[in-house]
Amino acid sequence: MRPNILDPLFVPLTSFSGIGPKTVTLVARAMGRDDADEVRSVDLLLLPPYRLIDRRHQPGVAFATENTIVTLKLHVDRHQPAPPGRSNAPYRVLAHDDTGQIALTFFHARQQWLEKALPIGETVLVSGKVEWFNGRPSMVHPDRMALESDAEGFPMIEAVYPLTAGLSAKLLQRAIDQALAGMPVLPEWLDAAFLERNGLPGFNAAIRTLHTPGDALDLLPNAPARRRLAYDELLAGQLSLALVRRRVRKLPGRPVDGDGAIRDRILAALPFRLTDGQRSAVTDILTDMKSRERMLRLLQGDVGSGKTVVALLAMAACAEAGGQAVLMAPTEILARQHHATIAPLAEAASIQVELLTGRMKGKERSAAIDRIEKGDAQLIIGTHALFQESVTYHDLLLAVVDEQHRFGVHQRLRLTAKGTAPHMLVMTATPIPRTLVLSAFGDMDVSRLTEKPAGRQPVTTAMVDMARLGDVVTRLKQAVSDGRKAYWICPLVEDSDLSDLMSAEQRQEALQQEFGALVGLVHGRMKAAEKDAAMDDFKSGRTRILVATTVVEVGVDIPDASIMVIEHAERFGLAQLHQLRGRVGRGHDASSCILLYKGSLSDVGKARLSIMRETEDGFRIAEEDLRLRGEGELLGTRQSGSPGFRLVDLSAHGDLLETARDDARYILEIDEDLATERGKALRLLLYIWRRDEAIRLLRAG
């Protein structure tokens, strides 16, 4: 049960005066939230303004600079309505101060309302931009107006929030004001010495400063109020991850200590030697699995760094110990790809591999589940189907999850519940900067693969304007006639009236006019069987050019494909471009990647594509992507498992992240049930940042 003190923070917005269900939907949209029903008062309190309007400049009419915001104290002289029958003519209110006269100009005005707002003979405050025509000043539709007698409510400094069509700034401000008015005084959950040392305010004071800033400096990421709230957000995340880690590790792990015989046979069957990074990662993993404490390790590897082989050797150790290991992939294509890579090596080592995916039905599925339950299948590869209730394991020792950022913390807990506390290895082919590793995977130990296996070819990357598309097609004709294969990536599946981007279907049609039946197509909306057929055609050489959307971004391995064309490359994230480029350079041929862009690029666009040309180091590319685009883009859409911060800016608050991680670990060491006074206050923090799953873990013990 949520403590009663937090009730005012979790009232629905419809309980506010003047806020109905339609407005709540608009507020949710402005926040980038899909769940309008779940938006509460606390969400408004944690919504930061992105800029300020400063209305303190009061120069007088004669000295008002054009197109700058000024506030004027005026005496209202007369109203000049539009002539009868000319509704499109402006309504003017003429006024003056000690320095000169000005016309306040309104279009489609309501006369009665204006006569009440700006009564003749009264002194009023108006704020907005002044325009000068033929030496005469005018203010068109002032932003703010108030009688001098009501000047107390006139905001000289105004916070500006994100809006959406149909939601006015005034309505949103009214809702925020009501949320602020209802905010309870909460006990402090941060250490007093830490607050004093860092010059940080209390939570309530920080929230009030966020919404009523004194000047533009209060909005900067390193302003004390903003840093305080950013630290709260980071601490809530790290505490939540630490509780998940404790829960995952509470059941003791089974030590896995194989004799190495199966691993030796796999290593002998490999056509290459392991890199130093692979050997080091394997050692880390095997050392972890020998312990009675459950392993929870993240294996980060750049495109083509050989993560699958590392995972296979860890799985082989489980087979040596008489148990089972699973490898879960996010898509059917990737699961089948892993199976195709692992099956021949497992066969050479005389161990049984099983594939289990959602598409398998009837007798085929029943037989696979039966082999898993009896323990005949030692290594099992598949999709989410691996963890459905109908699947029972004989002796599950290790769960490997590929592309971790597509699965959230909840799936991780559900997955590990399948065995008697299996060890866990999660892998990602998206190189993630250290700050993001800490924030999204703070509960894990990390191994990094930074080298490419021997035999990997460098990929030459070029930027080409779409105006030179004909040259690209000509070069492609020569390459295809030489027996080479190419990917052609498009950002859309089908043509759209809303976009000028070439769709995959259109591009396939255009290329078929040049190459005929040699052009295939694969995209996410195709049925799985159609996708598989298109991939098989490309693999076998029946097609030589594969037009695709980003469905081929991860895990597709066709070694003799050596050309990658990416259309509208400026529309993709750097991490995504790097993943796509990683589909080539896997065989013996020199490989190339062509980044097609349209028209003149912005400075940021040029910088991003230039990085792709300069380096193949995925970790450097990821750091640049974080710097240029932010953490939400880097991990793909903001799904569970990716940070999705509200107030944290990692480029400014990266130093707070390690402190929050250390603080979270220290807190749980001395107060593992959060039962002390500070612990109870920290429970409030977890509720405020919607980390309720961590509270549930506390209750579960």
Second CATH level (architecture) for the domain 459-615:
3-Layer(aba) Sandwich (3.40)
Average predicted confidence (pLDDT) for the chain: 86
Which tokens sit at 608? 């991003």
Q: What percent of the chain lies above the pLDDT cut of 90?
A: 53
Which tokens sit at 79? 């109203």
CATH 3.40.50.300 fits 261-449, yes or no: yes
How many CA atoms does the CB half-sphere of 595 hold within 13 Å?
Answer: 27
Residue spans of alpha helices (H) in 270-324: 276-290, 307-320
In this predicted structure, what is the pLDDT of residue 634? 43
Residue 182 has pLDDT above 70, yes or no: yes
**Residue 353 backbone dihedrals phi, psi, to 5 degrees:** -110, 135
Q: Classify residue 361 by its DSSP letter.
A: -
375-407 exposure pattern, b = at least 16 Cβ within 10 A, e = fewer: eebbbbbbbbbbbeeebebbebbbbbbbbbbbb
Q: What is the pLDDT of residues 536-559, one digit of tens each?
A: 899 999 999 999 987 665 556 788
In this predicted structure, what is the pLDDT of residue 498? 42
CATH topology (fold) of 56-154: OB fold (Dihydrolipoamide Acetyltransferase, E2P) (2.40.50)
Residue 622 has pLDDT above 90, yes or no: no
Residue 97 has pLDDT above 90, yes or no: yes
In this predicted structure, what is the pLDDT of residue 416? 52
Residue 209 has pLDDT above 90, yes or no: yes
Residues 178, 17 contacting (CB under 8 angstroms): yes
Which range is least confidently modeled, 29-33, 371-375, 418-422, 454-458?
418-422
How much is the pTM?
0.68
Residues 426, 299 contacting (CB under 8 angstroms): yes
Beta-carbon contacts of 181 under 8 Å, excluding residues fewer than 6 positions away, are none
Q: What is the pLDDT of residues 126-139, one digit of tens each?
A: 999 999 988 899 99
Distance CA(527)–CA(524), nearest Å, equals 8
How many CA atoms does the CB half-sphere of 6 hold within 13 Å?
Answer: 18
How much is the average pLDDT of 316-341? 90
Distance CA(542)–CA(157), nearest Å, equals 67
Q: Helix (H, G, I), strand (E, B), or coil: what is residue 137?
A: strand
The CA-based dihedral angle spanning residues 39, 42, 46, 49, taken in that order and rounded to the nearest 10 degrees: 70
Q: Which residue has the tokens 């670990």?
A: 665
User: Could you tell me whether strands 545-548 and 459-465 are parallel, antiparallel, or unpaired per DSSP bridges?
Assistant: unpaired
Residue 291 has pLDDT above 50, yes or no: yes
Distance CA(611)–CA(623), nearest Å, equals 11
Distance CA(432)–CA(437), nearest Å, equals 6
Strongest mean pLDDT among 44-48, 108-112, 244-248, 653-657: 44-48
Residues 439, 236 contacting (CB under 8 angstroms): no
| H/E segment holding residue 334 | helix 332-348
Q: What is the pLDDT of residues 586-614, one digit of tens each?
A: 777 889 999 999 878 877 788 888 888 88
In this predicted structure, what is the pLDDT of residue 666? 93
Nearest residue to 337 (alpha-carbon basis) of 530, 487, 555: 555
Strongest mean pLDDT among 23-37, 263-277, 403-417: 263-277
Distance CA(698)–CA(701), nearest Å, equals 5
**205 or 605, greater pLDDT:** 205
- Domain spans in the chain, listed from the N-terminal domain onward: 4-53+162-219, 56-154, 261-449, 459-615
Nearest residue to 131 (alpha-carbon basis) of 64, 75, 79: 64
Distance CA(502)–CA(454), nearest Å, equals 37
Find the angle CA(54)-CA(56)-CA(58) to the nearest 5 degrees: 130
Q: What is the pLDDT of residues 364-404, one digit of tens each?
A: 999 999 999 999 999 999 988 887 778 889 999 999 988 65
In this predicted structure, what is the pLDDT of residue 542? 94
Residue 89 has pLDDT above 70, yes or no: yes
Domains 56-154 and 459-615 are alike in CATH topology: no
Residue spans of alpha helices (H) in 182-293: 192-198, 203-211, 224-250, 261-269, 276-290
DSSP string for 36-77: GGG-BHHHHHT----EEEE------GGGPPBTSEEEEEEEEE
In this predicted structure, what is the pLDDT of residue 417? 53
